[in-house]
């Protein structure tokens, strides 16, 4: 019985160790990835993402915070992934902000075109 148990224990330990090594590959703190995420968040803020893409921007900030916490705990692989996700969130916030700003400009230009058309129509009739 004890023999059997030890076998299971050994097997499990071996599998567990293999899986552990498979899951956690990175060893270094992802400093570069963290600062990239931070830079993109700053770019998004400067572009006005707070107004146009608040959800994505907040997600980026939250993930960066979590990434830093994980890095502090030495959980480098988790930190790296969270930082990368934060970067993509921030990039998406930038893209969404630019798109909405462009669409706002389009509406303005179209309405000024309409106004112009009405005015010239009137002056032509006169």
In this chain, which stretch among 19-27, 32-40, 42-50, 67-75 interacts with another protein, using CB under 8 A?
A: 19-27
What is the per-residue burial (b if ≥16 Cβ within 10 Å, else e) of 46-62?
Answer: ebbbeebbeebbebbbe
39 binds another protein (CB under 8 A): no
33 binds another protein (CB under 8 A): no
Min dist. Cβ of residue 17 to another protein (A):
9
Q: Report which of 15, 64, 22 is spatially closest to residue 42, judged by C-alpha positions.
A: 64
Q: Which of 26, 39, 65, 112 binds another protein (CB under 8 A)?
A: 112
Min dist. Cβ of residue 79 to another protein (A):
12
88 binds another protein (CB under 8 A): yes
Cβ neighbours, 10 Å, residue 109: 10
CA geometry: angle 39, 99, 65, nearest 5 deg: 30
In this chain, which stretch among 13-21, 29-37, 41-49, 65-73 interacts with another protein, using CB under 8 A?
A: 13-21
Residues that bind another protein (CB under 8 A): 5, 8-9, 12-13, 15-16, 19-20, 22-23, 81, 84-85, 88-89, 91-92, 95-96, 98-99, 102-103, 105-106, 109-110, 112-113, 116-117, 119-120, 123-124
């Amino acid at each position: 019985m004890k023999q059997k148990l030890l076998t299971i224990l050994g097997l499990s330990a071996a599998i567990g160790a293999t899986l552990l090594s498979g899951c956690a590959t990175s060893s270094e703190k992802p400093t570069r990835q963290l600062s990239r995420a931070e830079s993109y968040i700053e770019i998004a803020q400067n572009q006005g993402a707070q107004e146009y893409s608040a959800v994505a921007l907040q997600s980026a900030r939250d993930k960066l915070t979590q990434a830093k916490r994980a890095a502090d705990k030495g959980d480098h692989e988790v930190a790296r992934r969270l930082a990368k996700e934060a970067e993509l969130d921030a990039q998406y916030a930038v893209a969404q902000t630019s798109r909405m700003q462009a669409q706002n400009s389009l509406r303005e230009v179209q309405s000024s075109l309409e106004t112009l058309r009405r005015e010239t129509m009137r002056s032509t009739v006169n």
